[in-house]
Amino acid sequence: MKISTLLDNIDLGAMALPEFQRGYVWNRQQVRDLMSSLYRRHPVGSLLVWVTRSAGAQARGTSDLQPGVVQLLLDGQQRITSLYGIVRGQPPSFFDGNSASFTGLHFNVDEETFEFHAPVKMNNDPLWVDVTDVLRDGPATKLGALGTALPQERMNVYMERLMRLHAIKDIDLHVEQVTGEDKTLDVVVDIFNRVNSGGTKLSKGDLALAKICASWPEARAEMKRRLARWSEVGFDFRLDWLLRNVNAIVAGRAEFSALANREPDDVRAGLDSAERAVDKLLNMIAGRLGLDEGSVLGSPSAFPLMARYLSDHQLRLDARDTDRLLYWYVHAFLWGRYAGSTETVLNQDLSLIAEEAGGLDRLIEHLRTTRGDLRVRPNDFVGWSRGARFYPLLYLLTRAYGARDWSTGLELRKHMLGAQATLEVHHVFPKALLYKHGYSRPEVNAVANFTFLTLETNRAVSDRPPELYIPAYDKKHPGAVSSHWIPTDPDLWTVERYRDFLAARRTLLAGAANDFLDGLLAGPPVTEVASSAFERTGRLVAPEDEEERLLRECAEWVEGRGLASPERNYELVEPNTGEQLAVLDLAWPAGLQPGLTDPVAVVLNEPPSTEEVAGRMGFRCFTHVATFYEHVDRNAFASHSDEPHYPAGVA
pLDDT band of residue 638 (cuts 50, 70, 90) is: very low
The burial of 594, by beta-carbon neighbours within 10 Å (0-12 exposed, 13-18 middle, 19 or more buried), is given as middle
Q: Does an H or E element contain 600, and which?
A: strand 600-602
Indicate whether 367 and 391 sit together in one domain. no
**pLDDT at residue 640 above 50?**
no
Amino acid letter, 110: D
Q: Which residues contact 162 (CB under 8 A, 6 or more apart)?
A: 109, 129, 134, 139, 142, 143
Q: Among 20-34, 191-205, 395-409, name the one with the lowest average pLDDT.
A: 191-205
pLDDT confidence band for 520 (50 / 70 / 90): very high
CA atoms within 13 A of residue 502's CA, in its CB half-sphere: 23
pLDDT score, position 190? 67
Compute the half-sphere exposure of residue 466: CA atoms within 13 Å on the CB side of its CA. Answer: 26
pLDDT band for 36, please (50, 70, 90 cuts).
very high
Question: What is the strand order of the sheet 450-454 is part of?
Answer: 450-454, 423-427, 540-541
Among the listed residues 46, 60, 75, the one whose alpha carbon sits nearest the alpha carbon of residue 13: 60
Looking at the structure, do residues 35 and 69 belong to the same domain, yes or no? yes
pLDDT of residue 226: 95
Q: How far apart are the first and last CA of the chain?
A: 47
Work out the number of other CB atoms within 10 angstroms of the CB of residue 504.
19
Domain-located, residue 311: yes
For 539, left (φ over 0), alpha (ψ -120 to 50), or beta?
A: beta
* Claim to verify: residue 524 and residue 610 sit in the same structural domain: no
pLDDT of residue 252: 92
User: What pLDDT sits at residue 165?
Assistant: 94
Q: Please state whether the predicted TM-score (pTM) of the whole model is above 0.85.
A: no
Q: Which of 107-121, 195-209, 299-313 has the lowest mean pLDDT?
A: 195-209
Q: List, in sequence order, every residue forming a beta bridge with 427; answer none if it has no partner.
A: 450
Q: How confident is the model at residue 642 (pLDDT cuts 50, 70, 90)?
A: very low
Q: Are residues 151 and 234 in the same domain?
A: no
CA atoms within 13 A on the CB side of 120: 5
> Looking at residues 315-340, what average pLDDT do you find?
91
The share of the chain scoring above pLDDT 70, in percent, equals 85
Chain mean pLDDT for the chain: 85
Tens digits of per-residue pLDDT, 374-409? Answer: 999 999 898 777 778 899 999 999 988 989 999 989
Residue 54, pLDDT score: 84
Do both 455 and 473 map to the same domain? yes
- Say yes or no: 502 and 607 in one domain: no
pLDDT, position 186: 61
How far CA 212 is from CA of 192, 262, 446, 583, in Å, comes to: 13, 8, 45, 35
pLDDT value for 612: 92
In angstroms, the CA 277 to CA 440 distance is 43
What mean pLDDT is predicted for residues 266-272?
94
Q: What amino acid is encoded at 165 in this protein?
A: L
- What is the pLDDT averaged over residues 45-59? 82
| Residues 366 and 405 occupy one common structural domain | no
Average pLDDT over residues 418-441: 84
Between these two residues, 92 and 548, which has the higher pLDDT value?
Answer: 92
Instruction: Provide the pLDDT for residue 451.
Output: 94
Side chain identity, residue 364: I
φ and ψ of 571, to 5 deg: -80, 135
How does residue 64 score in pLDDT terms, banded at 50, 70 and 90?
Answer: confident
DSSP string, 97-149: S-GGGTTTEEEETTTTEEEE--HHHHTT-TTEEEHHHHHHH-THHHHHHHHHH
Instruction: Give the DSSP H or E segment for 70.
Output: strand 69-75
Residue 102 maps to a domain: yes
Asked if 330 and 260 sit in the same domain, the reply is yes
Domain that holds residue 319: 201-371
Percentages helix, strand, coil for the chain (3-state, rounded to 5) are: 50, 10, 40
Q: Within its chain, how far is the Cα of 266 from the centroid? A: 28
Say whether pLDDT at 501 is over 90.
yes
- Domain boundary, last residue among 371, 405, 424: 371
Residue 617 lies in a domain: yes
What is each CA distance from 35 to 39, 264, 319, 626, in whole angstroms?
Answer: 6, 41, 62, 29
φ/ψ (deg, to 5) at 544: -90, 120
Closest-CA residue to 417 (of 453, 391, 393): 453
Residues contacting residue 56 through CB under 8 Å, at least 6 positions apart? none
Name the burial class of residue 398, with classes exposed (0-12), middle (13-18) and buried (19+) by CB atoms within 10 angstroms of its CB. Answer: buried
**Measured between alpha carbons, how far is residue 236 from residues 103, 131, 361, 516 in Å?**
28, 37, 31, 28
Dihedral of the alpha carbons of 484, 489, 494, 497, in degrees to the nearest 10: -100
10-14, 179-183, 253-257: which has the minimum mean pLDDT? 179-183
Above 60 in pLDDT, residue 643?
A: no
46-64: average pLDDT: 79
Q: How far apart are CA 317 and CA 321, in angstroms?
A: 6
| One-letter amino acid of 376 | V
Report DSSP state, residue 605.
S
Q: Does residue 187 sit within a domain? A: no
pLDDT tens sequence across 528-545: 666 666 665 556 766 667
Output the pLDDT for position 471. Answer: 95
Question: Can you give the pLDDT at residue 447?
Answer: 93
Residue 642: inside a domain, yes or no? Answer: no
Q: Is 588 helix (H, G, I), strand (E, B) or coil?
A: strand
Characterize the bridge pairing of strands 567-573 and 580-588: antiparallel
Q: Which of the given ranges, 191-200, 264-273, 607-616, has the highest pLDDT on average?
A: 264-273
On whether residue 126 sits in a domain, the answer given is yes
**Burial level of 69, CB count in 10 A (0-12/13-18/19+)?**
middle
Model pLDDT for residues 294-307, shown as the tens digit of each residue: 888 988 999 999 99
Number of structural domains the chain divides into: 4
CB atoms within 10 A of CB 576: 8
Q: What's the pLDDT band for 325 if we cut at 50, 70, 90?
A: very high
Distance between CA atoms of 370 and 195, rounded to whole angstroms?
42
Chain-centroid distance, C-alpha 131? 33
Mark whether 26 and 63 lie in a shared domain: yes
For 279, phi and psi rounded to 5 degrees? -55, -45
User: Quick one: 34 and 146 in the same domain?
Assistant: yes
CA distance 88 to 103: 11
- Picking from 521, 541, 561, the residue at the C-terminal end of a domain is 541
Q: Do 252 and 345 reside in the same domain of the chain? A: yes
More confident residue, 227 or 608: 227
For residues 143-171, give the mean pLDDT: 79
Q: Is 355 contained in some domain? A: yes
Final residue belonging to a domain, choices 507, 541, 575: 541
Higher pLDDT, 501 or 604: 501
How, if at all, do strands 600-602 and 105-108 pair? Answer: unpaired
Quick one: 578 and 463 in the same domain? no
Q: Is residue 436 part of a domain?
A: yes
